[in-house]
Structure 1
């Protein structure tokens, strides 16, 4: 009888703890709020992207530290896992920076916007990221490659490159390939912008390879993968095709929205059309988002305007955030979630996440602010 009472008491305690744990689980999104992981620590995966593999989502992002220096890569790329997108388990550091001063990814370099895709052909998880060499500011403008056998890593760093060396964009005309430009052009003048649109920086970087800063990855329905990045001093987006292994460039690429000054690209496909959301270039300060649509991944791309809806301030600052990735809603096929970062340059580790549903109005993607929302 005594044993029975003890078992009853133990069962009650376990049920109480289970119910408490369930009640403590996050069951909605709260944009801009602290977002604790399974350890109760604010998620540290900034400028990130998601990958779904065998029913589990993996969130990769920059691991920030406290203070202004936190925007440099002092730790590496953090990864979290989730089965519901609300609650995330800390899976550790997927790609760790090196202590070797000769390594390109030595501690103190810049690693931003890591994205990971799975290659069914090779069985490898492939990571690309914006990479700047230590002590060189943002002048290197390279993209880094790392691969792993597991979605949580460890990822092995391969190299960093300036893509498409010695290759012209597919949408360049014969005239553009032969153009020459005055040596002295005043930045932001009408003549300078015309020269940029004509291929000024493509010509400049033709031999060494093009610049690649803010970036994302996209795998199309046919399995082809694309590397989309801000190039030409952040003035033009480039969409570059990757090889079948996803680990190199095929040298097939296009210059998109020349001289448009777009960065932070995020892309998705709906009903056979490609949609792109990007931002202006204002450093860590937020600005108004832009949206675009195309019938083919290589374009041409048509502007759809600012996708944000709300107050003037909300629309002019993308809800005080900047785009980083777009993921399909697992509860509603054909609907998508905008992922943005609310940067905190004075204390990088405190950066917040702005996840909001993307809706369609008059065949245009629109984003409305919501204090709290759920997938269904």
Structure 2
């Protein structure tokens, strides 16, 4: 009887493991998901956590790219970019986003600037470019797009992180970013120059990790919220990419075993997907995170329903 019970338990555990898609990347620790779709393939750009189990801070040496055509099987294209790509950069590979324009792929990254004649150090935003979504990527301008000295509303040196970029229907590109305050600029058509000044917008509970996109006439600004440890994901909506932004509330509660979370949102093959990270892999945690994906649903008025975090993840698509 005990033997039969043991077999039954083993079968149940095995079945549960087989159904547990989340986290979707299991062989390395990944964070800060950024999805795009190109020619029927979904590409996922990620950070890479390599901190030890006992570490009390991040160790993120590079960025990876993964791809899928069925939302089940993920191909790892390896390390395609690191701070070493940029002669001016040093330190960790923080959140980043890649976007395609006119056949080129622009990868906006946040890392740190060397102390030199340009900057006294601190977080900075750079841009890498490639003719293909999987590289090779190179520094697009040979210098940082944003350095700490360009933003003075916050006194801490890591306020220029987590860039998110969108191109509107009229061709105008916008970049949002920040830690502690939300900043935005227009980008020139070449995607490597700022067009005009840097703007700071007041967003309720904003702390970091913004993700901006447009869907069915609405602009969405989704972000990690302040005042909670672990973080939650909240959002605003607007009828213009520059606001005014109307606060709409929390869409993702705390994630398991990680005090940060980071949104990455995409429509693909008729479904809406919400990417994020948590710390649920074995030996995982706040500095050893893993990317997950669940469905995202909208109400008729365009507002977003609460994200239901699952271990099953999403179903395969054709």
TM-score tier, shorter chain, comes to: 0.7 to 0.9
Higher relative contact order (CA 8 A, sep 6+): 2
Deviations 1:233-260 (A, max 9, x none): x332122211101112112554222574
Q: State the shift of 1:374 in Å.
A: 2.1
Cα contact 2:83–2:111 (8 A) shared by 1 = no
**8 Å contact kept, 2:96–2:109:** yes
Where do 5+ consecutive residues of structure 1 fail to align? 1-25, 168-199, 309-314
Q: C-alpha separation between the residues in 2 aligned to 1:85 and 1:163?
A: 37
Q: 1:374 to 1:27 in 2, by over 3 A?
A: farther
Unaligned ranges ≥5, structure 2: 1-16
Matched positions, count = 286
What is the match of residue 195 of structure 2? Answer: 250
Length-normalised TM-score, structure 2: 0.75
Q: Which residue of 1 aligns with 2:12?
A: none
* Matching residue within 122, 138, 163 for 1:215: 163
* Aligned counterpart for 1:374 among listed residues 309, 315, 318: 315
Tell me the C-alpha RMSD between the 2 structures. Answer: 3.7
TM norm structure 1: 0.65
Whether 1:35 and 2:17 are equivalent positions in the alignment is: no
- Within the candidate set 103, 108, 123, 2:87 is matched to 103
Q: Distance in 2 between matches of 1:87 and 1:223?
A: 33
Higher helix proportion, which one? 1
Instruction: Give 1:220 deviation, angstroms.
Output: 2.2
Cα-to-partner distance string for 1:288-307 (whole Å, 9 max, x where unaligned) = 32111101000000011112
CA distance in 1, matches of 2:289, 2:309: 18
Structure 1 residues 139 and 362: CA distance shift in structure 2, 3 A: farther
Residues 73 and 235 (structure 1), Cα distance of their counterparts in 2 relative to 1, 3 Å cut? closer
Counterpart among 81, 90, 93 of residue 76 in structure 2: 90
| 1:240 alignment partner, one of 185, 204, 217 | 185
Q: Aligned equivalents of 1:271 and 1:343: distance in 2?
A: 33
Query: Which structure would you say has the larger Rg?
Result: 1
| Deviation for aligned residue 1:133 | 3.4
